Amino acid sequence: MSYYQDNFTKRAFTKGIIINIHTSLGSRLKTARSNKGWSLDKTSQHTGVSKAMLGQIERGESSPTVVKLWNIANGFELPLSYFLTDLAQTQAETAANTSLNTALNKLQNSEDDIHIVTLFPYDALTKLEVFQITLDPQREHISAPHNAGVVEHIIAVDGSMEYFLALTADGIELEWHTLTQGESIKFNADQQHGYRNMTDKPVTFHNIISYTQA
């Protein structure tokens, strides 16, 4: 079932989804910090996310934007799906409800107008994780450089999208390139990059992330 199908189900479970996501992210962040032996101050230094925001995330009071979540993952040198896969236990308990099961595996971010579904969480053997990403109309998502060795594969699966790689020294965006439905691109993600949807309909693409030096 797609993100835009079954609006009743989406509305009915929105509150529960957000609660589960907040709790999951907070638990994962606290575990990652404990494994590193980092204080909130040190975590803030490594991730670029404020100590106050980190504390709110851990307490389940706030959910980070996609950009901040990437910054946190990069700071800990962890795959993005590390912070999204704690919902698996909840999914198993609600496996009989496909609509709810799909929704619980989704990070929703209204600020960035980007919707992420974890198709395959990070696998230590393949060093891959796979996401389905939907961008709302007339929206863009700019990503900071990931850690060295991270490679992204982008496949446009529904609609046309645009992407760019890196900025000039003055911070000027380089040329945007178009991916039409069915087209794909592979690039080193240790450079600034971005995606945008300049159409009047949502666009969906698959994002395969390879941690080649993990």
- Asked whether the predicted pLDDT for residue 73 surpasses 70, the reply is yes
Q: In this predicted model, which residue has the larger pLDDT, 23 or 116?
A: 116
pTM passes above 0.75? no
Where in the sequence of the chain do the CATH 1.10.260.40 domains occur?
A: 1-108
> What is the C-alpha separation between 18 and 27, in angstroms, rounded?
14
The two three-digit tokens of residue 70, written as one number: 């990437």
Q: What is the pLDDT of residues 190-203, one digit of tens each?
A: 888 999 999 999 99
Class of domain 1-108: mainly alpha
Residue 50 sits at the vertex; the CA angle it makes with 48 and 55, to the nearest 5 degrees, is 125
Q: What is the pLDDT of residues 136-190, one digit of tens each?
A: 999 988 888 888 899 999 999 999 999 988 766 665 657 889 999 999 999 999 8
Class of domain 113-214: mainly beta
Q: Which of 213, 214, 208, 174 is nearest to 191 (CA)?
A: 174
Where in the sequence of the chain do the CATH 2.60.120.10 domains occur?
A: 113-214
> What is the C-alpha separation between 117 and 122, in angstroms, rounded?
13
Mean pLDDT of the chain: 78
- Asked whether the predicted pLDDT for residue 112 surpasses 90, the reply is no
E-state strands within 36-165:
106-109, 114-123, 128-135, 139-143, 150-158, 161-165
What pLDDT score does 39 carry?
Answer: 95
Q: Is residue 1 classed as helix, strand or coil in its secondary structure?
A: coil
